[in-house]
Amino acid sequence: MIKVTALGVNGAFTKNYHNNFVFELGSRKLLVDAGTTLRNSLHGAGFKETDITDIFITHLHSDHVGGLEEFAQKCKWIYNHKPNLWVRYDMIDELFEVIEKGLCTDGLTIYDYFTVGILGSFKGTGEFNIESHRIKFIETDNMHCEGMTSTALKFYDLNGYNVIYSSDIKNLKDSGLIDHVNDSTKGIFQDCSLVPNNVHSTVEEVIEYYGEGNKNKIYAMHYQDDVNAREADDKYGIRFMITGHITF
């Protein structure tokens, strides 16, 4: 079983909550991205900092990593809690540069705040395990914007099905994500925009890319604040995520 909770589903400049998610995998909870709204969205979804056992940051825009420093400070100094931080081997220097200036004072290092798991790569993908769940990371560098290291994720359940999480992608056609979709794919969490822009695919591009046969698997996220999710469901024939959870 994979329980997926959307802490927020909106973009960088939202008045609501950033597009950050929690994946419950057995007894552990993986936080995927930690934007600046995390201090409110995590509690709003019913989680405490100490509930989060694992963290993965897909890329380094502030709506995905801007809340990680505060989260780490709370975990260490208030709760004496040390979660696992999973990092792609070729992103570790970039991530540490973003967060260590605020954390690494008085002789402390990132390793005082997190148990860091450095992930290797093989032909663009690599894997790690959380309990009985296998997680494959899919390199999508430069697909969101040029010069940005970024990562999509594919979650495998023991029962044989899988769930895909795109993070942020504009250049879908070169991402290779469709190659990871099969009959066992139960959900595709895909960022999409209802207006054309330079860093996210439009909803029309998303539907064209995955095809009519996969529309029932698509869960749209990272969309504009003024979108009525249920009206958008009816108009486009895919599901627009709202804050809350879904279980596969």
Give residue-wise pLDDT tens across range 226-245.
999 999 999 999 999 999 99
Q: pLDDT tens for residues 77-92?
A: 999 999 999 999 899 9
What is the token pair recorded at 142? 């430069």
What's the whole-number mean pLDDT along residues 66-84?
98
Q: Kind and range of the H or E element at 129?
A: strand 125-130
CB neighbours of residue 104 within 10 Å: 15
pLDDT tens digit sequence for 4-26: 999 999 999 999 999 999 999 99
pLDDT tier at 125 (50, 70, 90 boundaries)?
low
Backbone angles phi, psi at 33, to 5 degrees: 80, 150
Residue 2 gets which letter from DSSP?
Answer: E
Task: Return the pLDDT at 51.
Answer: 98
- Residues 208-224 have pLDDT tens digits of 999 999 999 999 999 99
Does residue 29 surpass a pLDDT of 80? yes
- 3-state DSSP of 9-61: CECCCCCCCECCEEEEECCEEEEECCCCCHHHHHHHCCCCHHHCCEEECCCCC
What is the model's pLDDT at position 233? 97
Q: How many CB atoms lie under 10 A from the CB of residue 125?
A: 15
Neighbour count for residue 94 (Cβ, 10 Å): 16
| pLDDT on residue 173 | 93
- pLDDT for 159: 87
Angle between helices 203-210 and 229-236 (to 10 degrees): 40
Cα distances (angstroms) measured from residue 78 to each of 5, 36, 49, 71: 25, 19, 10, 10
Sequence-distant (≥ 6) Cβ neighbours of residue 98 within 8 angstroms? 60, 65
CA angle (105 as vertex; 71, 58 as ends), nearest 5: 40
Whether 191 and 19 have beta carbons less than 8 Å apart is answered as yes
Residue showing tokens 């809690």: 81
Cα dist. 56→30, 68, 86, 99, 184 in Å? 7, 10, 5, 14, 24
DSSP annotation of 199 reads S
pLDDT band for position 121 (cuts 50, 70, 90): low
| pLDDT 10s digits, 99-116 | 999 999 999 999 999 999
What are the tens digits of pLDDT across the range 135-188? 999 999 999 999 999 999 999 998 899 999 999 999 999 999 999 999 999 999
pLDDT attached to residue 122: 52
DSSP tally for the chain: helices H, then strands E? 6, 14
CB atoms within 10 A of CB 58: 26
